[in-house]
Amino acid sequence: MPFKRLFGRGSQEPAPPPPEDVDAQEGDDDDAIAPEQALDADGIDQHWRERAADVIPGGTSTGSKRPEALYGPDSATGPAHFATALGCRVVTPSGRALIDCTMALGSVAIGYADEAVTRAVLQAVAGGNVCGLASIREVEVAERLAELIPCAEQVRFLKSGGEAVAAAVRIARTATGRSTVVGCGYFGWQDWWNTGAGIPAGASADYVAVPFDDVAALERAARAAGSALAAIVLEPVIGALPSDAWCATARRLCRELGAVFILDELKTGFRLAPGGYSAHAAVEPDLAVYGKAMANGFPLAAVVGRAEVMEAARHTWISTTLAGEGVGLAAAAAVLDVYAEVDVCAALWRVGAQMRAGVEAAVRASDLPGIRVSGIDPMWSLEFDDATRQRRFLEEAVDAGVLFKRGAYNYPSLAHDDDEILLQVERAASTALVAVAEAEGA
């Protein structure tokens, strides 16, 4: 039986209401009408782009939500902001309703504004979400994660994934007394692994990057670090599942060299399985990092791991005022309740398979070259060889009612678990591809 029929997370939820109809407002005073009210939908959404660009560098505080990141560097249309979100639908400032396949960059696996999660959050707010003492929720959620995740003997909370990975690396370096980290993946904007503007040349000198699933390169880098190796940190899924040897080799090398094996499960946790790739593939790291879907879009991340390694967190300073505030913890507790009641991850695999199959059918029918659907069902990608064609597709898909992710993963959620929603996704992909083909004269 579909999960939506049991839990009301499918299409029976109405789309969020658009902003009030300005034509129905009383009064004829032009001075009382906001500037965007005289514009069409594209104009209103563009107006918000321009307002944002004036006061926020890049137009948004999240790099992946910049207009050029959403649609491409030459995009002049397409909404960059939302007004409301419910289930798997978002409504833009112009009132345009879209089925969202990005699901907040994978942070939402149940659905936007889920009733149970929202209720828990409101109760936390009503009771005071933060004070000078630690919340009892911090203990309760840590205990539940320790029961759920095999390596999680102890837990430390933070607010964002990037700082949680940085904390895991700090813990590993403290535990081993070493500095070199070998890694593969995207770990946030922090200096420890990055290069570029504003980052001192030596900040990431002790970080060695290796290609995804290149076992030989991993072995060479770890052996070269030798007794200086503090940790191997891997994002376990990058576009595809790795070979069995990838994490097994990392685990073996860390044991041989006395280093700490860290898995970044921010995208994969509570999506491939509640415990992420490590649970899906029966791989047990020393430390792992969770976030995103763990709190269904509310700000919370966790570093979990073996007590012997986590003990090092007491000997280095990792602290932020809002690490244990009640809203994120209440959301996580509600998410854990849902996962205890429903096999959410099985649903994400199933719904994702249906979603990507529909898009693949649209791609085949279009007969356009250089377009591929890749990845795995709970987090799949739509790849284009031609950037202009990709931009046109994304813009046309929005006009057809669906927001796809450019250059990264599309994520199913429980809120997509409805045949009509999945059909709309396929239709939007098909409509957009036909429009692209026509524009190209194909």
| Residue range of the domain that includes 183 | 130-324
State whether 198 and 286 are in the same domain.
yes
Instruction: Check which CATH number belongs to the domain holding 306 and give it.
Output: 3.40.640.10
State whether 242 and 159 are in the same domain.
yes
State whether 138 and 108 are in the same domain.
no
- Does residue 200 lie in a domain region? yes
Residue pLDDT, tens place only, 179-236: 999 999 999 999 999 999 999 989 999 999 999 999 999 999 999 999 999 999 999 9
Instruction: Check which CATH number belongs to the domain holding 427 and give it.
Output: 3.90.1150.10
State whether 190 and 261 are in the same domain.
yes
Higher pLDDT, 25 or 100: 100
State whether 41 and 164 are in the same domain.
no
C-alpha 226/C-alpha 256 separation (Å) is: 10
Residue pLDDT, tens place only, 421-432: 999 999 999 999
- Does residue 293 lie in a domain region? yes
State whether 159 and 260 are in the same domain.
yes
What one-character DSSP code corresponds to residue 285?
-
- Does residue 366 lie in a domain region? yes
State whether 16 and 89 are in the same domain.
yes
**Nearest 5°: phi and psi at 278?**
-60, -35
State whether 226 and 273 are in the same domain.
yes
Residue 87 vs residues 79, 90, 296, 353: alpha-carbon distances, Å: 19, 8, 11, 19
Residue pLDDT, tens place only, 322-368: 999 999 999 999 999 999 999 999 999 999 999 999 999 999 999 99
- Does residue 122 lie in a domain region? no
Mean pLDDT, the chain, integer: 92
Domain boundary among 291, 324, 357: 324
State whether 194 and 49 are in the same domain.
no
- Does residue 283 lie in a domain region? yes
| Ranges assigned E (strand) in 162-277 | 180-184, 207-209, 229-234, 260-264
Question: Residue 154: what pLDDT?
Answer: 98
What are 150's two structure tokens? 């095999």
3-state class (DSSP) for residue 39: coil
- Does residue 117 lie in a domain region? no
Contact 286, 152 (CB under 8 A): no
State whether 106 and 135 are in the same domain.
no
State whether 47 and 172 are in the same domain.
no
- Does residue 333 lie in a domain region? no
- Does residue 337 lie in a domain region? no
State whether 297 and 377 are in the same domain.
no
Which range among 3-12, 77-86, 133-142, 265-274 shows the weakest confidence by mean pLDDT? 3-12
**Number of domains composing the chain:** 2
Q: Output the pTM of the full model.
A: 0.91
